[in-house]
Structure 1
Amino acid sequence: MKVQIPRGVQDILPEQAGLWRAIESKAADICERYGYEEIRTPIFEYAEVFSRSVGDTTDIVQKEMYTFQDKGGRLLSLRPEGTAPVVRAYVENKRFGHPVQPAKFYYIGPMFRYERPQAGRYRQFVQFGVEALGSDDPAIDAEVISLAYRFYVEMGLKNLQLSINSLGDKESRKAYKEALIAHFKPRIGEFCEDCQNRLEKNPLRILDCKVDRDHPLMKESPVILDYLNGESKEFFDKVLRYLDQLQIPYTIDPHLVRGLDYYHHTTFEIMSTKEGFGAITSLCGGGRYNGLVEEFGGPSVPGIGFALSIERLIASLEAEGIRIPTEKQTDVFIVTQGEAAKDYSVLLLQQLRSLGLKADRDYMDRKMKAQLKAADRLNSKYAAIIGDSEMERQVVLLRKMDTGEQREIPMSRFAEEFQRVVGGGA
C-alpha cells in the first residue's frame, strides 16, 4: 500500500524548517519588544467555543470546521482560528484580574479549516496572532496594527497595503445592518442560498460572498462610514491620527467589513500588492471586538487582535524574491580511520557537545575523503581528523575547512582547546 499525505497539508522538510524557525523567531522577538507574552492553547476545543464566538452564520462554522464527537459524546472541533481559544483561556484563568493590564498575548500554532486548497492556503496552516484585552484606548488599536505592519517590514516585504475601516459601536453597527437588510431584501432571491440565509442573521456576511460579488447591488450597497455615530467617528479619527504619527501608510476601505460576529470599531487588512502574487492578496486581518469576553462568562472587556498565515507570508517572500538567511553550520565534523579512532570519536563527540558545540561524525563507514565531503556538505567550520597515526601519538589533527590550515592538538585537552578556538574565531 502506498501511503501519501492527505490533501491540503504539507511536510516541512529539514531544508525548509530553518525558514520557519527564522520567521517564528522574528515574530516572537517583535512581540516581546511590544510587550506581548506567549500563550499556548489546545489544538481542539468544545465546538461551542467557535460557534458562539466566530458566529454560526460564518463559513468557518457552517462549512470549514473539523468537528467530531469524542468517546463521551462531547462535540469537539480542531481550532480554525486563534482568537476564541485565547479569550476562553483569558476568562477561564481569570486573567482579567491580573495586575498587569491590558493583557497582551501572542500565539503561533496550527489551525484547521476544511476549504479548497490553493497556493499558500492549506487545510492545516500555521497562524501567528496577537490579542490585547482590557483597553478601549484607540492607541492600542494603532499599536496592534503597527506590530503587524512592522513584522512584515522587518521580514523584508516592500509591496504592502494596509486597508482600514470602522464598523462603529453596537449602535452604529445595528443601524448599518438595518440599512443592508433594506438594501438587499427586495432582490435577495437573486443571491445564493448562503446570502439568503444570512440576510436577517448577519447581512454583513453578504458583502464577503464570493459567488455574488459581481452583483450590481454589491457595488451600490450602503457604506458603513455613513452610519457611524459621533462617538464612533471620534474613535476612528484617533486611530487614523496615531497611524499618521507612526508614519504607517493606509487606505480607508469602507467595504472592509470582516463579517465575523464579534467585530466592532476598527477593522483592518494588510495585503500584498506585488504583481503576480495571486488572486488572493490578503496577508493579515484583524480588528477590535467587544462582547466576546462576555460570551465566555467574563466581564465586559474589550479586545483587539490580528492573525496572519505563515504560509501566506512565505508565498509573499517568494513573490518578492526575498531570501531569509537560514544556512546552518556545524562547528566540527570528526573524520576517522580505523576502529580505535572510531571508538574514541564517540567519547570525543560527547565531550564537544557537552561544551555547547555543534559536532557530528560519520556513521556510514565511509573513506576519509568521503567523510571530508560530508563535512563540507554540513558546512562544517572544522574537521577533526583521527587516524591510526594520531591514535598512536594521542593527538587530533584539526583542519580549518575554508583554508585547509591544519594543526595538532593533544587528545587530553582537545575539547576545551577547540572551544577556545571557535570562541576566538581562530
Structure 2
Amino acid sequence: MKVQRCKGMRDMLPAEMDVFRPVEGICRDCCTGWGYREVRTPTIEYLYLFTSAGTLTPGRLGKVYSFLDWDGWSGERVVLRPDGTIPVARLYTESLPGRGPVRLFYAANIFIFEEAGEKTRERWQCGAELIGAGSAVADAELVALSLEVLKKLGLKGVELRLSHAGLIKALLVKLGLSHEEQDRLFDRILDGDAAALAGAGGKSAEVGNALKPLLGFKGKSAGFLRNQRALLVQDVPEIGPHIDDFLKTVALLDDLGCKYKIDIASGAGFEYYTGMIFQLFIGGEKVGGGGRYDALIPAMGGGDVPASGFALYIDRLMEMVKAEDIAPAVPERVTVKIKSGGAVKEAFRAAEGLRRAGYIAELDLNGEKAASRWTLEVGGETPYILSDSLKSRRFEVKTIGEVLKRLEGEGGDKDSPA
C-alpha cells in the first residue's frame, strides 16, 4: 500500500519552504522591530482551556481535534490547538503573571477539522499579542503592525474592516435572549450574517427588527461613526460606551492614515473578543485579523489584565506573494566532484573551505551533470579544476585559496538571488 499523509494535513516541499521562510521571516522581523519577543506553545493543549472560559464559539468548538491523553488509569481530554491566541494567553497566565505590557509573537500551525474537500485542516499563522495594555493606542499599534507586515510582503489592495464585539454583545443583551441564544447569534454575526437577528422569535423578533439597521451600518471615518452615535444611542443607550471606545481607536487610525471600512456585522469567529475587532482582506480573501480580548486572561485566573492581538494566515499569504520580491539572497552553489577514491578527504576539506568563505558546497555523489554553475573537481592530475558552465571555461588551480580568488574574480558571488 502506498503511504500517504493524513487527510487535510500539509507537506511543504523545498520550493514551498523557499516561500514560507521569507514570509515567516518578514513577520518575525516586523514583530521584533516593534518590541515583540517570540514564544512557542505546545501543539497539544487541554480541552478545558477552550471551553471553561467560553473562549471559542460553538461553531469553532465543533471543529477541534480532541482525544484522550491517557496517564495510567485515567485520561484528560486534549486538543490539537485550534487557535494561536488562547495558548499564548495561557502561557502568560502560567509563566509571566502580573507583568505588563508584554509583547509576544509566534509562528505556529493550528488544526481545524473541515469536511473532505479542498480546505486544509492544518494551517500556519504568525500572530502577535499585546498583553497588559488596554488603550486605543495598543489597538492601533496592532493594526499598524499587521499592515506593515503585508506592506513588506509587497502585497497591495489590502482592505481593513473594523467592528466592535462589545457593541454587538450590547445589542444582543437588548434582545432579552438567554445566554445560549446570545452566543448562537453572536457566532452567526461574527461569521458576517447581518440577518441573524431575524431568527429571534416573539417579542425579541420585534426588538431584533429594530436593531438590524444598527448591525448593517457601514462607514469609512471617525466622523461617520460620531454622526451615527447621535442616532443610535437614542434607541439603544446601552451601546453608547462601546461606540465611544470604538471611536478612540478609529480616530487614531484616521490620524495614522489607515484606510478602513466600518462593518459591524463582521467579526472573526471567536467568542473571547470584547472590544475592537479587525479583519484584513486582499482580493476578497481573508488573510488575517484580530482584536481586543480583555476578558480572556481574567477567565484563566490571570487577574484583571487587558489584552489584544492578531494573526496573519501564512498559507494564504504564500499564495499571494511574489517569491522573487521577498526571497533573500542565497550563496552561490559549487558542486564538488571527487575524481578518485583517494581524494575523498581532500574533497571534504575543499568543501569546508568553500563553506567558510560563504558558498554552498555540495558533494557530487552520483556522477550526474551538476545543476550549479560552478563545479570543482578534486583528485585528478591537477589538484583542483574549477569549471564555469555559464561561460564554458575551466581553470586549473593548486590551492583552495586560488579557487576562491577565481570564483570572486569570475563573478561567483557569494550571494545571489534565490
The separation in 1 between residues aligned to 2:172 and 2:122, in whole angstroms, is: 33
Pairing of 1:321-340 with structure 2 (within 5 A): 324-325=326-327, 329-340=331-342
Cα deviation for residue 383 of structure 1 reads 2.3
Aligned residues: 381
Name the counterpart of 1:6.
Answer: 6
Other structure's SS at 2:308 match: strand
Distance (whole Å) between structure 2 residues aligned to residue 48 and residue 222 of structure 1: 37
Tell whether the 8 Å contact from 2:111 to 2:122 is kept in structure 1 after alignment.
yes
Amino acid at match of 2:138: I
Q: Which amino acid aligns with 1:242?
A: L
Are the counterparts in 2 of residues 357 and 419 from structure 1 also a CA contact under 8 Å? no
| Residue 5 (structure 1) shift | 1.8
2:242 aligned residue (232, 236, 245): 232
Contact persistence 2:161–2:263 (CA under 8 A): yes
CA distance in 2 between counterparts of 1:43 and 1:14 reads: 23
For 1:209-248, list aligned pairs within 5 A. Answer: 217=198, 221=212, 223=214, 226=232, 227=236, 229-248=239-258
Aligned-pair CA distance for 1:338: 3.1
Aligned partner of 2:146 among 133, 145, 148: 148
Cα 1:293/1:315, change in 2 over 3 Å:
same
Give the one of 382, 385, 408 matched to 1:397. Answer: 385
More displaced stretch, 105-114 vs 346-355:
346-355
| Inter-partner Cα distance in structure 2 for 1:48 and 1:7 | 26
SS for the counterpart of 1:264 is coil
* 1:286–1:306 contact (8 Å) kept in structure 2: yes
Aligned amino acid, residue 34 of structure 1: W
The equivalent residue for 1:191 is none
- TM-score (normalizing by structure 2): 0.80
Distance of aligned partners of 1:144 and 1:117 in 2 relative to their CA distance in 1, 3 Å threshold: farther
Distance 2:403 2:51 in 1: 59
Question: 2:202 matched to which residue of 1?
Answer: none
Correspondence for 1:203 among 179, 185, 190: 185
1:287 and 2:291 aligned = yes
Report the Cα distance in structure 2 between the residues aligned to 1:154 and 1:350, rounded to whole angstroms: 35
- Is the contact between residue 108 and residue 128 of structure 1 (CA under 8 Å) also seen in structure 2? yes
Q: Distance in 2 between matches of 1:348 and 1:37?
A: 39
Question: Compared with structure 1, are the counterparts of its residues 415 and 399 closer, same or farther at alpha carbon in structure 2 (3 Å cutoff)?
Answer: closer
* Alignment partner, residue 138 of structure 1: 136
How far off its partner does 1:159 sit? 2.2
1:88-167 pair list within 5 angstroms: 88-97=90-99, 101-116=100-115, 119=118, 121-167=119-165
State the Cα deviation string for residues 310-341 of structure 1 (Å, max 9, x = none).
112123337xx986436855432213433334
Q: Does 1:69 align with 2:68?
A: yes
In the TM superposition, 1:273-422 aligns within 5 A as: 273=283, 281-317=285-321, 324-325=326-327, 329-354=331-356, 356-364=358-366, 366=367, 370-371=368-369, 374=370, 377=371, 379-380=372-373, 382-386=374-378, 388-390=380-382, 395-411=383-399, 413=401
Bigger mean CA offset, 405-414 vs 343-352? 405-414
Distance 1:78 1:150, change over 3 A: same
- In 1, Cα distance between equivalents of 2:296 and 2:195: 32
In 2, the alpha carbon distance for the partners of 1:11 and 1:18 equals 13
> Deviation at 1:27?
0.6
1:54 Cα deviation after fit:
5.3
Shift of 1:386: 3.1
The change in CA–CA distance for 1:315 and 1:356 in structure 2 (over 3 A counts) is closer
Query: Which whole-Å CA distance do the structure 2 matches of 1:175 and 1:249 have between them?
Result: 27
| Letter of the structure 1 residue corresponding to residue 142 of structure 2 | V
What does residue 192 of structure 1 align with? Answer: none
Q: CA RMSD in A?
A: 3.1
**C-alpha separation in 2, matches of 1:296 and 1:215:** 30
Letter in 2 for 1:179: K
Gaps of 5+ in 2: 200-207, 216-228
TM-score by length of 1: 0.79
1:308 and 1:12 mapped to 2: Cα distance? 18
CA distance in 2, matches of 1:139, 1:334: 56
CA, structure 1 residues 409+152, in 2 after alignment: closer, same or farther (shift >3 Å)?
same
Question: What is the CA–CA distance in structure 2 between the aligned matches of 1:400 and 1:250, rounded to whole Å?
Answer: 53
Residue in 2 that maps onto 1:267:
277
Counterpart of 1:278 in structure 2 is none
Q: Secondary structure at the match of 1:12?
A: coil
Q: Percent identity?
A: 27
Q: Is the 8 A contact 2:194 2:265 kept in 1?
A: no
**1:199 CA displacement:** 1.3
Aligned partner of residue 29 in structure 1, secondary structure: helix
CA contact (8 A) 2:191 2:266 kept: no
Does the 8 Å CA contact 2:59/2:187 hold for their aligned counterparts? no
Consecutive unaligned residues in structure 1, runs of 5 or more: 186-196, 275-280
Indicate how the Cα distance of structure 1 residues 81 and 214 shifts in structure 2: closer, same or farther if over 3 A, else same: same
Aligned residue identity for 1:223: L
**For 1:264-299, what per-residue CA distance to the aligned partner results, in whole angstroms no more than 9, with x for missing partners?**
12111011226xxxxxx2211211011211111112
Letter in structure 1 aligned against 2:214: V
1-structure distance, mates of 2:276, 2:91: 23
Report how far residue 242 of structure 1 moved: 1.6
